[in-house]
Amino acid sequence: MRTQNFSLTILTLVALLLITITSSGNAQDRQFATKGITELSGSVSYSNFTYVSNGETGDAISIFTLAPQIGYFVIDGLELGLSTGVSLLPGFSVLSP
């Protein structure tokens, strides 16, 4: 049951990220890194680890991380931005500012 909830959460977050990426299509009208441009970016990662100690294999753990970022060019070539990150582990979630 927990694995199904974790998989559903991952799929939902990936779908939201893709919607965000495809809805920001007006950036092609203006040159990048110029005053007034808002930039949406971020990263998505998935890791799977299996613990091994003294030759014995332990349980596997999966980690899914989503780290969105937004920036605004206050003058040409100078961007101020904010970012955050969420890491999801089965039974846990970690939010970083």
Residue 74 has a pLDDT of 94
Q: In tens digits, what is the pLDDT along the chain, a chain of 97 residues?
A: 455 566 667 767 776 666 655 555 554 566 778 899 999 999 999 999 898 989 899 888 888 899 999 999 999 989 999 999 888 887 766 666 6
Instruction: Confirm if 84 and 95 have CB atoms less than 8 A apart.
Output: yes
Distance CA(9)–CA(61), nearest Å, equals 16
Collapsing DSSP to helix, strand or coil, 32 comes out as coil
Collapsing DSSP to helix, strand or coil, 4 comes out as helix
